[in-house]
Structures are given as C-alpha cells and as structure tokens.
Amino acid sequence: MRFRGLVLSAVAAILALTAMAGVGNAATLCPGGLSERTLSVSQAGITSFGTMQKLQALPLNAGEYVLTFDDGPRRETTPKILEELSAACVHATFMMIGQRAERRSVVAKLVKLGGHSIGSHSYTHRNLSTLAFDEALNDIKKGVAAVERAVFGNRMTPVKFFRFPNNVGTSELINAAQTQLGLIIASYDISPEDWRGSPPEETMHRLRQRLNATDRGVIVLHDAQDNTVPLVPMVIDELKKRGASIVHLVE
C-alpha cells in the first residue's frame, strides 16, 4: 500500500504539471526555479561523452549541468526522486539496470511518464571489463532489451544511452557498443559518490567541492540509494544558488 501511495502521488504531481504545461513555461510553473533547455545528442552528432571515462565533454555553456541517475529503478526511492524533480520542473536521464527494470516495470514506466530520458546500465551491473568479450557484449544487449520492454512494452522504442557499470569499459567494448549496437556511451564529469551511503550533508559537501572545480558538466547520482532521496532537493537548491541551469539530454 505504501508503494501504491507513492506511485499515485508521483503520478498526480506529473499529471498536474502536464495539465499546466500549456499555460506557461518552466519559469512560470516554478518561480525562481532552475531554467532548462533540451539537447539532442543525435542532432549534435554526439556518440559518446563524459570526461570521467576520457570521452569528449558535452557542448555545455558555463553554468549548465546535466542530471543523471544510475542503478534504478527501485520502488522505495525512485518515485520520491521523481517527485522532487517534478516539483523543480527539471528532467534527468535514468540509466536503468536491466534486471531491476524487469522486476519494477511500473516504476520504470513512471520515469518515462515524467518526461525523463531513459538509458541502460547493463543487465546485471557486473564489471564488464572482467568478463569475456562476448559475455560482456551480451550483458549489454540483454540490458538494453530489458529496459526497452520494461519502459515501452510492445512498442519497443529503442534505448540508445548506455553507461558502463562502475564507469569501466574497455576500448574494445566501447567500440562494439557504439558500432555494433548503435549506443551512445554516457559517462559523466561530476560525482558526489552518493553510492557510499554517506549522510546527505556529507555527500553534498563532496559535491560542492567538485562543483567549485568546474562550471559545467554531467552529474551522476544513484536513485537506488536511500540517502539520495533527501540529497536531490539539496542538489537542486545548490544549483539555484549558483544561478545554474539544467540541460535535458534526449536521443
């Protein structure tokens, strides 16, 4: 019942936002909130990005940040994070683990309903660089297919964003994922390491330090972590204080 209530609450918030969309833009809906623009990576000719995997940086302006979430969906945390994003009128990219998306397809669909972009994070979240090439590539393919089924059902809309588990992928696997599977390799630039499970204040301190070292970039968070739920509004407030804006990636 608790999960059902969370889902209904998140759906209500999203539907309310959708109903108001024709009345004004994000600035109107969220006075004093973060501004947002959309970046189509395919139109920009981007096939990979993220300096933490030594890939090219996204073409972001000063003060622009991309929000991404790994390791979900999880029914206890993902709907709460969706509510926070909806309240701030911003969008993120969710890199889902295939086997989790299969088990939590309702939550996976809820992410899409909120207008967020969808990516794959492998099927098992194993360190793919330690597997035989064929086994690793199969895990990638299986993960993409599982996320597509969970989110889109029979429509099978292609999922193109892919992030390696632990952000580790061999050059051979990166090349195969791009050329054979047509995936966009999505690394990141800034991580507060919320996967450590530290108190939100401690994680936020790490993020501030790393934001001070750059004026733009892709931020990675983890929607499967309990402590990330209270962290998300803290991140949004910090970006507001910095006068930052959000870039929503679409394929």
Cβ(217)–Cβ(56) below 8 Å: no
Fold of 2-250: TIM Barrel (3.20.20)
Predicted pLDDT of residue 16: 44
Coil, strand, or helix at residue 101? helix
Cβ(122)–Cβ(139) below 8 Å: yes
| CA–CA distance, 224 with 113 (Å, rounded to integer) | 19
Extract the tokens encoding 24.
């004004």
| CA–CA distance, 229 with 207 (Å, rounded to integer) | 15
pLDDT tens over the chain, length 251 residues: 454 555 545 454 444 444 334 333 444 456 667 899 999 999 999 999 999 999 999 999 999 999 999 999 999 999 999 999 999 999 999 999 999 999 999 999 999 999 999 999 999 999 999 999 999 999 999 999 999 999 999 777 899 999 999 999 989 999 999 999 999 999 999 999 999 999 999 999 999 999 999 999 999 999 999 999 999 999 999 999 999 999 999 98
What pTM was estimated for this model as a whole?
Answer: 0.89
The sign of the dihedral angle between the CA atoms of 91, 180, 55, 132 is: positive
Count of CB atoms within 10 A of residue 188's CB?
22
Per-residue CA distances from 49 to 52, 54, 170, 195 (Å): 9, 8, 15, 21
* Length, in residues, of the chain: 251
Count of CB atoms within 10 A of residue 161's CB?
25
